Amino acid sequence: MKRFGQLIGVKKEYLDSYKKYHSEVWLEINKKISECNIQNYSIFYRDGLLFAYFEYVGDDFDADMKKMADDPKTQQWWAIMKPMQQPLENRAEGEWWSDMEEVYHLD
**Burial of residue 50 (number of CB atoms within 10 Å: 0-12, 13-18, 19+):** buried
Rg over alpha carbons for the chain, rounded to the nearest Å, is: 14
Q: Which is nearer to a copy of itself, 49 or 69 (CB)?
A: 49
Q: Smallest distance, Å, CB 38 to a copy of itself?
A: 8
Interface residue list for a copy of itself (CB under 8 A): 3, 5, 7, 18-19, 22-23, 25, 30, 33-34, 38-47, 49-51, 53, 88, 90, 98-107
> Under a CB-based contact definition with an 8 Å cutoff, are residues 17 and 91 in contact?
no
Closest separation between CB of residue 59 and a copy of itself, Å?
20
